[in-house]
A and B are shown apart, each in its own frame.
Chain A
Amino acid sequence: MIMVNLGSDEIIKYPFLDEAGKYLSDKGFSLEDFATNADLNKIVENAFERIITAVDGRIYKSELASNNSSTNEIFSFLIAVILLKLTGMNTLTRRFSLAEARRAEKFLEKDLKNQQDPRNAKLSLQILQELFSVTIQKEDEYFIIPISDYLSHSVNFHEREWKLINRKVLHGQVQLTSHETVRLVRKELDRYIFSKINSSSSPQMIQGFEPYVTKLKSLAKKFEVKTVESTEYPPCVKHAIEVLEKGENLAHSGRFLLATFLLNKGQTVEQIAPLFKNAPDYNEKVTLYQLNQLSGTSGTTQYKCPSCEKVKSQDLCFPIPACDPIINPIQFGRKRV
Chain B
Amino acid sequence: MAHPFITLFVPHPHNNHKAKILWPKSIVILIGLFIMGRSIIDITIGLRPGVLGFAAQINPDKVIELTNIERLNAGVSIVKVNSSLNQAALAKAADMFENNYWAHISPTGTEPWYFITESGYKYKHAGENLARDFSNPTDVVKAWMASPTHRQNLLDDRYQEIGVAVMDGTINGVETTLVVQMFGSSQTSVSKIASSKVTNTVLAEEPTPVVQTVPAPEITPTLSPMDLSRVWSLAFVVLVLLALSLDWIFVFRYNIIRISGDTWAHLTFFAGLAIILLIIRQGIVL
Chains A and B form a bound pair: no
Residues on B lying within 8 angstroms of A by beta carbon are none
Residues on A lying within 8 angstroms of B by beta carbon are none
